[in-house]
């Protein structure tokens, strides 16, 4: 999807640069995203945050039922010693 209409920059292009280790300022300089009307800045920043090489790969939120279950809290056989 096109994030920056003024510069015709897609979310894939922003994501590719973010995964390569570039932060928002670097991407803004390189691609020109959010340098004209500025309407795309929040969306572009969100894409960078989601794809940042320094950020977590996935955020997993477990419900209380799973977190408190015996199966989740059981010790592996090798740790029972």
In total, how many domains does the chain have? 1
CATH number (domain holding residue 27): 1.10.10.1100
From 4, 13, 14, 9, select the one nearest 36 (Cα to Cα): 4
pLDDT of 52 reads: 77
pLDDT of 56 reads: 55
Q: Write out pLDDT tens, residues 20-54.
A: 999 999 999 999 999 999 999 999 999 999 887 56
pLDDT of 14 reads: 94
Q: Are 45 and 18 in contact (CB under 8 A)?
A: no
CA–CA distance, 81 with 64 (Å, rounded to integer): 28
- For 26, the domain range is 2-80
pLDDT of 76 reads: 61
Average pLDDT in the chain = 80
Q: What are phi and psi of 58, to 5 degrees?
A: -150, 145
pLDDT of 61 reads: 52
């Amino acid at each position: 999807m096109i994030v920056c209409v003024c510069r015709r920059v897609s979310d894939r292009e922003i994501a590719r640069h973010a995964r390569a280790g570039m932060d928002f300022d670097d991407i803004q300089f390189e691609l020109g995203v959010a340098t004209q009307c500025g309407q795309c800045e929040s969306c572009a920043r969100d894409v960078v945050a989601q794809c940042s090489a320094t950020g977590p790969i996935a955020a997993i939120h477990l419900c209380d039922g799973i977190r408190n279950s015996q199966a989740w809290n059981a010790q592996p056989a090798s740790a029972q010693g």
